[in-house]
Structure 1
Amino acid sequence: MDTDLKKYIRSFRQTKATIPTNIVFIQTLMYQLCKGVAFCHGHGLLHRDLKPHNLLMDKKTMMLKIADLGLARAFTLPIKKYTHEILTLWYRAPEVLLGDTHYSVAVDIWSVGCIFAELVNLQAIFQGDSELQQLLHIFRLLGTPNEEVWPGVSNLVNWHEYPQWSPQSLSTAVPTLDKDGLDLLEVSLLLISHIQKYHTPTEYIHK
């Protein structure tokens, strides 16, 4: 492995070159990432710090490996309590930002969605400089959650009366992504609604 995904993306951004965005290239990296995350989840492990810097790459073969399990934790059912001090801010799931300590595999799946969008855009999709600003960026795009779409959200420790935004199409944030890619983000990865979120380790790998 001669680089990581963060450096790989940055190299294109700095040279103003165009990163390969054909469907085969995107599928190759995303399949490997999803397969690796599914392997972790299938063995009862939450990574909890998925981000481009922790994804090692071989530029010639496009082989990708998940690294840095320093924040990883075993998870069990029923879901036990975890710390919310995890994940680099830009890849942190909204439930963690809101102070939920009973989270599961969905926090890793959210990070996968953020990484996917960043690979296409060459920059992070949500770039907050605080937990509050990060939540506001998420809500502006995906809509402000309520009890109907996310039962119990108003009881979370960091919940406040946020501005009420309606969900926007992800095509406004990732305009170069094709329909299949947008469907993957909207239906499987970047979900604000807990009613719809996937909680099994392998469902999203086949999307």
Structure 2
Amino acid sequence: MASVVGEGTYGKVYRAREKATGKIVALKKQRLHGDEEGVPPTTLREVSLLKMLSSDPHIVRLLELKQRLNKEGKTVLYLVFEYMDTDLKKYIRSFRSMGSTLPPQTVKRFEASQSANGSEDYDAEDRRPWTESGIHSSTQKILTLWYRAPEILLGATKYSTPVDMWSVGCIFAELITTQALFPGDSELQQLLHIFRLLGTPNEEVWPGVSKLANWHEFPQWNPQDLSRVVPSLDAEGVDLLSKMLQYEPSKRISAKKAMEHPYFDGLNKASL
């Protein structure tokens, strides 16, 4: 018996039990459109990346890929993953429900783990095919809205690893406060949340921003003091967060540089 445990852009995720072994697994049912032939490129990309990163203990393991015919005789794809009882979002919510926040050292370990694994994963991505400019060209419908980088929200179709560091920064702030940093309910609202805190970007702070496809005249806000939204974070942490939330992607801190930041001094990085 399967039960729905989540739903994303490309399909639903079910909790299921394998008949042969009794093992609980997570099934991701891939949505296929009538005009598609073969396996969608989004699925191929996901499977290849998960296989490449399968040795990393911090990344959910893809166990197998199954094909089945539904009642209409159409092929349905299922990605079979190891099942996890919880995730970081639920862990953060557990603290919020108690009216408390995560211990500072726990936040530091989580953040270091994200950056450390990001550094390794980016090394792996360097071995993937890239466009001539050295950056990906792909769909804009990536990443959960609250963690989506501004270049994607503004219509950029070419992007690289800085989009991931933006997401890491958003999660960093959420680990501190247990509240989403930019909780937009639409792409426009998401941009406005970002602009209210970081200031409305312009050509001076982000050359080329006005040429992005979704750019238009937005309300003008001045940048706010970032420390006010993460008041319990020390100065080194605020500095790291600010470097992760730089508007211009090329100026955003890399995963490797983030691991070298003084915020992580004193942390046993080898244990990560």
- State the TM-score bracket (shorter-chain normalisation): 0.7 to 0.9
Alignment equivalent of 2:244, drawn from 170, 175, 189: 189
* 1:114-143: CA deviation from partner (whole Å, max 9, x where unpaired): 000000000100011000010011011111
8 Å Cα contact 1:143/1:165 also seen in 2: yes
Deviations 1:15-67 (A, max 9, x none): 2234212xx3222111111111111111116xxxxxxxxxxxxxxxxxxxxxx
Q: Distance in 2 between matches of 1:80 and 1:14?
A: 39
> Secondary structure of the residue that 1:116 maps to in structure 2?
helix
Distance 1:173 1:93, change over 3 A: same
Q: 1:12-31 counterparts in 2 under 5 A?
A: 12-21=95-104, 24-31=105-112
Residues 127, 137 of structure 1: 8 Å contact kept: yes
Aligned position for 2:231: 175
C-alpha contact (below 8 Å) 2:162/2:250 kept by paired residues: no
Distance in structure 2 (CA, Å) of the matches to 1:80 and 1:34: 20
TM-score, length-normalised on structure 1? Answer: 0.79
Give the deviation of 1:195 after TM superposition: 5.5
CA distance in 2, matches of 1:184, 1:147: 24
Q: What is the identity, as a one-letter code, of the residue corresponding to 2:108?
A: Q
Q: Which of residues 154, 162, 173 is equivalent to 1:98?
A: 154
Name the structure 1 match of 2:206.
150
Partners of 1:172 and 1:18 in 2: CA distance: 16
Q: Which residue of 2 aligns with 1:122?
A: 178
TM-superposed CA distance for 1:192, in Å, is 1.5
Q: Distance in 2 between matches of 1:82 and 1:124?
A: 26
Which stretches in structure 1 are left out of the alignment for 5+ residues?
46-72
- Structure of larger gyration radius: 2
Distance across 2 between alignment mates of 1:172 and 1:130: 25
The equivalent of 2:169 in structure 1 is 113
Mean Cα deviation higher: 88-97 or 3-12: 3-12
1:190 positional shift: 0.9
Gaps of 5+ in 2: 1-83, 262-272
Q: How far has the Cα of 1:163 moved from its partner?
A: 1.1
CA distance in 1, matches of 2:100, 2:239: 26
- Give the one of 244, 257, 270 matched to 1:203: 257
Tell me, yes or no, if the aligned pair for 2:163 and 2:249 is still in contact at 8 Å.
Answer: no
The answer on 1:44 being equivalent to 2:100 is no
Task: Give the number of aligned pairs.
Answer: 176
Partner residue of 2:94?
A: 11
SS in 2 for 1:3: coil
Secondary structure, counterpart of 2:259 in structure 1 = helix
Runs of 4+ in 1 over 4 A off after TM superposition: 73-77
In structure 2, C-alpha distance between the alignment counterparts of 1:130 and 1:171, rounded to whole Å: 26
SS at 1:202 equivalent: helix
SS for the counterpart of 2:159 is: coil
Summarize deviations over 1:156-179 as a string: whole Å, max 9, x none: 111010111111111121111111
Alignment TM-score, normalising by the size of structure 2:
0.61
How far, CA to CA, are the matches of 1:126 and 1:17 in structure 2? 20
- Identity among equivalent positions (%) equals 56
Match of 1:60 in 2: none
